[in-house]
Amino acid sequence: MSVRSVLHVIAFLVLVILGAPAHAQNVDLGKYSDFTPFQERWLTTEPRDPSAEWLTAYGGRLYDNWMELVGRGAPRGEHPAYPATGKAKGPNTWRCKECHGWDYNGRDGAYGDTSSSHYTGIKGIRAYAGGDPREVVGILRDETHGLDEHILPKYAAERLALFVTRGQIRPEEYLTSDGSPNGDPQKGRAVYQNLCAVCHGYDGKSINFGSDTEPEYLGTVAEENPAELLHKARNGNPGSIMPAQIWVDIETLVDVAAYARTLPKE
């Protein structure tokens, strides 16, 4: 990256940090019943001096589901730029990941399979990695994306731009030819049992992301969509108490993903 690009990012970070809202995050706590007061405080407040890693991971959660964090809900109907041939409906069409993918490759990645329920034919965001976040803010506000300040607040657009320019990884570099994480499951076991199991359980079944009839556990996600697992491990899960591990080296998280793949799927 050029010196000029570095200076651009530093200046942008200063603006983002100085302009960080004093208000709490707009997380809907009404749908959660088992948060402790300490967890609620963690969810609904922000650091007075947010680090670049905190801001970037917040942007990663916005990429996942910005509606969960800004508390404004999605505009009515499908996103205007979402193709008519796409299979998603309503709010999901407004999620960044729904078009650009968990691997950030869009049509050139996992969502490039025309038989996929997530296929849109839209390109990914890889070209903006290492770029100027102010350019990304401009793209979010353009006619195609249509995320003006009434929909996506200024602070959220800036954090999302930081993720796009500074938070992307290349998941394919950490996956084998069959799509499984190429980490060491024995190393991942130590991390998982001492950290992840607090919420997910030692068997990965404490949280069911699916339904009673079609359960989806951590082991299921690790097998079917390891890129999603890596994204959430690094950036956290919108509106939940899952801590972001963006400060951990990616190889460690790949080890965890490899171990998670050995957990029960049903």
**Residue 17: is its pLDDT beyond 80?**
no
| pLDDT at residue 204, as a whole number | 95
Pair 127, 141 in one domain: yes
Indicate if 137 and 188 belong to the same structural domain.
Answer: no
The yes-or-no verdict on residue 146 having pLDDT over 70 is yes
pLDDT in tens, 174-194: 999 888 999 999 999 999 999
Let me know how long the chain is: 266
Task: Indicate if 213 and 106 belong to the same structural domain.
Answer: no
Number of domains the chain is built from = 2
Split at pLDDT 50, 70, 90, the class of 228 is very high
Tell me whether residue 181 is exposed, middle or buried, using C-beta atoms within 10 angstroms of its C-beta: 0 to 12, 13 to 18, 19 or more: buried
**97: nearest Cα among 59, 148, 63, 74:** 63
**223 against 14, higher pLDDT:** 223
Q: Choose the final residue of a domain: 168, 196, 211.
A: 168
Residue 265 lies in a domain: no
Query: Which of 143, 168, 193 is where one domain is finished?
Result: 168
> Within the chain, how many helices (H) and strands (E) appear?
11, 0
pTM for the model stands at 0.89
- HEC string of 71-133 equals CCCCCCCCCCCCCCCCCCCHHHHHCHHHHHCCCCCECCCHHHCCCCCCCCCCECCHHHCCCCH
Residues 208 and 137 in one domain: no
Residue range 191-199: average pLDDT? 96
Average pLDDT of the residues in 50-71? 96
Select the highest-mean-pLDDT range: 2-16, 30-44, 60-74: 60-74
In a domain, 266, yes or no: no
Q: 197 in a domain, yes or no?
A: yes
Which structural domain, as residue segments, surrounds residue 111?
3-168
Residues 245/251/253/258 CA torsion (nearest 10 deg):
180
41 and 16 in a single domain? The answer is yes
Token pair for residue 42? 């963690």
Last residue of a domain, one of 142, 168, 194: 168
Q: Both 62 and 120 in a single domain? A: yes
Coil, helix or strand at residue 146: coil
Residue 180 sits in the same domain as residue 137: no
Looking only at Cα atoms, what is the longest distance across the chain?
54
Whose structure tokens read 């948060």? 35
Rg over CA atoms, the chain: 18
The domain that holds 186 is classified in CATH as 1.10.760.10
My answer on whether 84 and 215 are in the same domain is: no
The rounded distance, in Å, linking the Cα atoms of 90 and 234 is 27
- Asked whether the predicted pLDDT for residue 22 surpasses 50, the reply is no
